[in-house]
Amino acid sequence: MVNYSINIVAIIGIAYMFYGFLYGMVMLVIMFRHQKDKPDTFEPFLYLAGAIVVTALIFITGLILFFNGWRFDLLMQISQLFLAIVIFYLSIKDVLHNLEK
């Protein structure tokens, strides 16, 4: 049985799923850019590992929040909102910093 309802946590879950996919694609583009600049370094592998692991974790977290977010009480929902804001801010900051290089 699958239960879901649309509340703030379900919306955050949908945003996580979308953002996980988008973040993975952007990290792969950054990886290919750095691979052309520095082909013999370890840095492109770190971008690939980060793109795979972080994308998978964000997407799985989005699925969990979407399908189980209806169980959260108000305090848990607010904490997930604050956590999502921090994650989005730090990952956007990371992408913008890497695009400047």
Band of the pLDDT at 85, cuts 50, 70, 90?
very high
Does the structure show a pLDDT above 70 at 2?
no
Does the structure show a pLDDT above 70 at 98?
yes
Residues 64, 15, 53, CA angle at the centre, nearest 5°? 65
Does the structure show a pLDDT above 80 at 35?
no
Contact present, 1 and 29 (Cβ < 8 Å): no
**What pLDDT score does 56 carry?**
92
What would the pLDDT profile of 57-76 be if each residue is shown by its tens digit? 999 999 988 888 878 888 88
| DSSP character at residue 69 | G
Residue 82's alpha-carbon distances to 52, 53, 72, 87, 93, in angstroms, are 24, 22, 14, 9, 17
Taking alpha carbons only, the member of 56, 61, 71 closest to residue 21 is: 56
Domain ranges of the chain: 8-100
